Amino acid sequence: MSRTLVIYCHPYEKSFNHAIFQTVVKHLEDKKQDVEIIDLYKDKFDPCYSKEELALFKHGKTLDPLVEKYQKSIKNAEK
């Protein structure tokens, strides 16, 4: 069984994007795929860099624990 990561980012649960997201996740689950979801709005992810964070970029490091979590999820995903 392959591990599939779905990254979703939309603020409105009645949007067409949300319907697509739900359809994709349901299809993967129906196929018995191992699905992990990152919902950037639900997590209240802030994509803005601080000067301190930007200085760490070239070393692949971050000050944001969510970014660390996302990096691990991406690394462990097969799809």
- Structural domain including 57 reads 3-76
Interval 43-65: pLDDT, tens: 999 999 899 999 998 898 999 99
Under a CB-based contact definition with an 8 Å cutoff, are residues 21 and 10 in contact? Answer: yes
Quickly count: other Cβ atoms within 10 Å of residue 21's Cβ: 19
For the chain, the domain total comes to 1
Tell whether pTM > 0.95: no
pLDDT, residue 1, reads: 55
The first and second tokens of residue 64, run together, are: 């944001």
Rounded to whole angstroms, the Cα distance separating 66 from 57 reads 15
Under a CB-based contact definition with an 8 Å cutoff, are residues 5 and 75 in contact? Answer: no
Which of the residues in the chain have pLDDT under 70? 1-2
